[in-house]
Chain A
Amino acid sequence: MANKVVLKVSNLTKRFGSRIAVNNVSFSIHEGEIFGFLGPNGAGKSTTMKMICGLSTPTRGEINVCGFDIKRQREKALMSLGAMIENPLMYNYMSAYDNLKYFASLYKNVGKKEILACARIVGLQNRLKDLVGKYSLGMRQRLGIAQSLLHAPKLLILDEPLSGLDPAGVKEMRDFLRGLAKNNHIAIMVSSHMLGEMEQLCDTVAIINNGELLEIKHIEQLRQGIEGTKQIRFKVDYPNFAGSVVMRELKLPVQVVGNSILVKCGENRIKDITKLLVKRKVSILGVEVITKSLEEIFMDIIAHKTNGKTSIS
């Protein structure tokens, strides 16, 4: 994918006194890419995103949005950027329409047409006259997204956009964001705790902990990794015998646990294993596919990459 680079972050560091919150982080995001930022609480996700949006100043490093350095060409850089940081906060004494109108008036050429279009995109076109104070959280989230889209940015920064949404809302948001990325070619940078959702949403995932970028993986790689951690459990009458047979003849790693064997392999091997066990007169009482969750993978990565490194906090 030779897409344009929409965001390039190089050697980004943020220091608060003696504490280093973000340590030498570098990555890039391409047009139309959904980039996920994963990490535990206090890892430095929000801090990094705030620096990209211009809410705080990096101690060191460079941030380039569509080729403009945020420090030297702030206004040009921020023209291409839309953001929704933490809770979307609006002016409660104004209607949704007036809020959007206010933000729109900060840009050239963003008028009523664009406001209504954005409202339509998030599905709020019928509730624009209401005071924002009366909105539910979900509606506020949607309004937050709407305001970030007004000026047709090339990059969208969303910090915890799924927080507080019910499962239906989460799915809606997911579909919506995917639509934006695919149809409008907007690059989206998302941070979240909800690992499962991230796995379904993002194209690329970056894992960050203690201010350091540990891994950047495309989602396929992650899936493969997940695939690679799959285990099949066969509940059998003679587990030891069954285990040795599978090990010897199919050359697959097997673990005997109670009255089952755990074979580390993909689902595509069930066919072969079943055939073999039947051939060897082993009764199969149950088959189960056990997947290592993303969370476990995630924790592994964090543990692995943090191990041996001095913790800085």
Chain B
Amino acid sequence: MSTFRFTRAEFIKIFKKPSAYIMAVFLLACIVVSYFIYTPQTRTTYLATYEINNDTSVATIYNQYNTSSSGDVRVVYESNFISAENIIDFYKHNTDRIEQLKDSYTNLTIRYNNMNKASQDFQNNLTDDTLLRKTIREYTDALYLFRTNVQSISTLQFYLVGATEFLDTDFYSNALTFLDDLYTYLDTTTDYDIVLDYFELNELNTTIDNIFTGIRDYQKTTINETVTKITDYKDTLVNYVNINTEPNICNEQRLILVEQLRLLSAYADLLIENEYSYPVVLIEKEKLDEFNQNYNAIMTTLKSDADKVLSTSDYKLMAQTFTNTTILEDMISSLQSIEYLSMDKDKVTQLENYYNDKIVVLNNKIVNELNKLKNDIEFFNSKNSQDIEKIITTISKQKNLSVNTKDLINAEINDYFLKDIPNDDISKLYGYDLVSFNKYENEEKITKIRYLIDNEKYGFEYNEVFSNDYTSGTKESAFDFTFFVMSLSTVFVTMFAIFMISNLIATENDNGTIKMILTRPYKRYKIITGKMLATLFFACVFMLFTMIVTFCAGWGLYGVDMTNILAVFSANSAFAINPLLLLFIYLICCILKIAFFIVLATMITVLCKSFPLSIIVNFITYAVIFILNILLGGYGWYAFVPFGELMLFNYFGGAFRVFGNKNFISMLVSSPFVGQVAWWLSLTISFVSMVIMLAVTYRTFNKRDF
């Protein structure tokens, strides 16, 4: 015998039960109560607003738009466009520089670490100062390069003028603040001073090297060769010339020079890789005094410089300083914030092209239209309300385009930077609170705005998707009211359905009437299936009843606007749809959700056998799921729980969801939605879990003896 025959019999039986009618009355009461707690929601005004009285003409409106500096005016709209262009340029020019900065930062870190290690080793007397000096030199080179790169990026900030009002996320300002601070630090810090002093010392080292290299070179060549070496170090270095002298005078002078050079070497000892013995210099007699004078001068300078910087205690201080944690170190560690200053070239180009090809073109069209209207004298001076409406609509187009541009750029940037970060981690990013940010909603926004721009629409041509946010109303709608009541009644109808299926199975089990059914020519699973389907149809009747009654009431109370709604499905396809059709889709989604709970309740009832037990377990389960939805709804992994994402309608853009701070009623009626899984995956999870529950139910019921 067919299951449907049995379903039909059970369905008729349900409507002979007094309890069914009690539930119907209760439902009606709920609808009435909902009317009193319902407050119509705000509909965003998309049109530009101007004050209109008897004297207002098209010209008045136009002039206000064209000349004022605040309100719904050209300047304000254009600032959005300018900011958008600036942002795109910022990323266009910044990316290479950021790459350089990142590379120099990496290099700097490596050198810094090497230097620290060498300093440690030197302090612990594991090595001599050779390696330390080398690493210090490398560090200071890297630091100079880093400083230059920081400077080059800071200069790009002017592109972000006005961006802080335009962009709604904080991470750029953090990055730019960081770079500013870093640059200032690099300019003024003592650590750097020491290093810079040492850098100058490096030059001294080179010069002295050169002197001795020169002497060595001289030694290699013949005495008769004249070698002139000139090096200048702060304009005080000496020229020395090779001349033929008498060996006695040379020797004497040589000894003096050697002595003096030995003194020099004692100070410069730590810097010089001196593998040679003290050199021999032959000098012209006449030049000797001059040499001596200059040499003394050199030695004085060298000595004072060397004393100042190279005395062992100073040197040790310098070595110590690098082992302390410096502010520089702290700042370098937060350098990752500059990630948000660079964007993939392809992505920037894509944005730029979209902006130029679509947005600019569209704006130009609007501007042309406005100009045409302005040049039509008759129209321009008209006080006709239709004409006024026409000019306002045209201005509104530009308003909406500018707002959409701003939203789109923001959303694209958010999408780019935050795409691969799990929702749970976004809020922990860099200390600022992005808890209200949801990647799925962001994607929806992008799809919706692109649809509008691609189709030359501006938003006011469409109705809003249903919502029941609690704010004061300016435009009421039968659809909102119906949606609100249906979302409440789904909760009650689910409870009725759970009660009914328990009654159909467990009560019959308790009072024995089930035996009258089990002897009929039906396979056992058909009996369970028939009861479930009958309960589902019962729920459908109630939901349909709610929908029709509420819609008619809403029509009478609030009126109906049949303008198409712009809906987004699964965050990547936007389409216009008749609101009545969308309401039916919502009805079906509610029924699917109820079906899940019916299957769950059936399984529990069959396992619990008796009616009191099954009712208790069923309602505890329902309550637990309810609470879990509220508590765990924000976590991404919750979507994988079978009862986690049950309301398929959430995938239609702008649908009602719990995320962030919403009111109590919304938490009550909505299952959480995180958008972390694709709609078909969510559907499959629910479906598979239903199949498993059915399998358990059938198996238990088939094997049972009555």
Check A54/B519 contact, CB under 8 A, given A86-B512, A106-B1, A106-B9: yes
Residues of A within 8 A of B523 (CB): 74-75
The contact string, 1 if C-beta is below 8 Å from chain B, for chain A 26-70, is 000000000000000000000000100111110000000000000
A74-86 vs B: 1/0 string, CB under 8 Å? 1111110111011
- The winner among A90, A103, A105 for most chain B CB atoms within 10 A is A105
Tell whether A74 pairs with B521 under 8 Å between CB atoms, given A57-B703, A93-B16, A93-B17.
yes
For residue B522, CB closer than 8 A to chain A, the reply is: yes
| 29 pairs from A and B in contact (CB 8 Å cutoff) | A50-B705, A50-B706, A54-B518, A54-B519, A55-B515, A55-B518, A55-B705, A56-B705, A57-B705, A75-B521, A77-B521, A88-B516, A89-B511, A89-B513, A91-B16, A93-B17, A93-B18, A94-B16, A102-B12, A102-B13, A103-B516, A105-B9, A105-B12, A106-B1, A106-B5, A106-B517, A106-B522, A107-B1, A147-B516
Question: Does A203 have its Cβ within 8 Å of any Cβ on chain B?
Answer: no
Task: Give A86 to B13 CA distance when docked, in angstroms.
Answer: 23
Closest 7 CB pairs of A and B: A56-B705, A78-B521, A75-B521, A89-B512, A83-B519, A55-B706, A105-B9
Question: Whole-angstrom distance from the CB of A51 to the nearest CB of chain B?
Answer: 9
Interface size class of B (residues with CB under 8 A): 20 to 34
A199 within 8 Å of B by Cβ?
no
Assess whether B13 is in contact with A91, with CB atoms less than 8 Å apart.
yes
Roughly how many angstroms separate A93 CA and B516 CA in the complex, as a whole number? 16
> In whole angstroms, what is the CA distance A99 to B421 when docked?
62
Bound CA–CA A53/B13 (angstroms): 23
Please state if A85 and B13 are interface contacts (CB–CB under 8 Å): no
Q: Does A215 make an interface contact (CB < 8 A)?
A: no
Contacts of A103 in B (CB 8 A): 516, 520
Residues of chain B with a CB closer than 8 A to A89's CB: 511-513, 515-516
Chain B positions within 8 Å of A55 at CB level: 515, 518-519, 705-706
B652 — which chain A residues lie within 8 A by C-beta? none
Closest A residue, CB atoms, query B13: A102
Check if B6 is an interface residue, CB within 8 A of chain A: yes
B contact residues around A81 at 8 Å (CB) = 519
Nearest-CB distance from B11 to chain A (Å)? 10
Of chain A, the residue at the smallest CB distance from B1 is A75
Query: Digit string of B1-37 for contact with A (CB within 8 Å is 1, else 0)?
Result: 1000110110011001110000000000000000000
- Select the residue from B17, B518, B519, B705 with max chain A CB neighbours within 10 A: B519
Other 19 A-B pairs with CB < 8 A, given A86-B515, A91-B13:
A50-B705, A53-B518, A55-B515, A55-B518, A55-B706, A56-B706, A74-B521, A81-B519, A85-B519, A88-B516, A94-B13, A102-B13, A103-B516, A105-B12, A106-B1, A106-B5, A106-B9, A107-B1, A107-B520
For A174-204 the 0/1 string (1 means CB < 8 A from B) is: 0000000000000000000000000000000
> Residue on A with the closest CB to B16?
A94
Task: Kindly report which residue of chain A lies nearest to residue B8, judged by CB atoms.
Answer: A105
A residues contacting the other copy or chain, number (CB 8 A): 32
Cα distance, A19 to B523, chains bound together (Å): 28
CA distance A13 to B204 in the complex (A): 110
**A50, B706: Cα distance in complex, Å:** 8
Q: Give chain A residues whose Cβ lies under 8 Å from the Cβ of B519.
A: 53-55, 78, 81-83, 85
- One digit per residue, 1 when the CB lies within 8 angstroms of any chain A CB and 0 when it does not, for chain B 514-548 equals 01111111110000000000000000000000000
CA distance A77 to B1 in the complex (A): 12
- In the assembled complex, the CB of A65 is this many whole angstroms from the nearest CB of chain B, namely 10
Contact of A291 with B by CB under 8 A: no
The closest CB in chain B to the CB of A68 belongs to B521
Asked if A227 CB lies within 8 Å of chain B CBs, one says no
Is A87's beta carbon under 8 Å from chain B? yes
Report if A98 contacts B (CB, 8 A): yes
Query: Of B12, B513, B516, which is in contact with the most chain A CB atoms at under 10 Å from its CB?
Result: B516
Chain B residues near A105: list those with CB within 8 A.
5, 8-9, 12
Q: Please name the residue on chain A nearest to B518 by beta carbon.
A: A55
Q: Which partner residue on chain A sits nearest B523 by CB separation?
A: A74
Most A CB within 10 A of own CB, among B13, B17, B511, B703: B13
A76 and B5 within 8 A (CB): no
Q: A77 — which chain B residues lie within 8 A by C-beta?
A: 521
Q: Which residue of B lies closest to A47 (CB)?
A: B705
Instruction: With both chains docked as a complex, state the minimum distance between the C-beta of B525 and any C-beta of chain A, in angstroms.
Output: 11
| Contact B513–A98 (Cβ < 8 Å) | no
A90-B513 contact, Cβ under 8 Å, with A55-B706, A102-B12: yes
Q: Is the Cβ of B9 less than 8 Å from the Cβ of A102?
A: yes
CB distance from A21 to the nearest CB of B (A): 10
Once bound together, how far apart are the Cα atoms of A87 and B521, in whole Å? 21
Residues of chain B with a CB closer than 8 A to A93's CB:
16-18
> CA A33 – CA B516 in complex, angstroms?
24
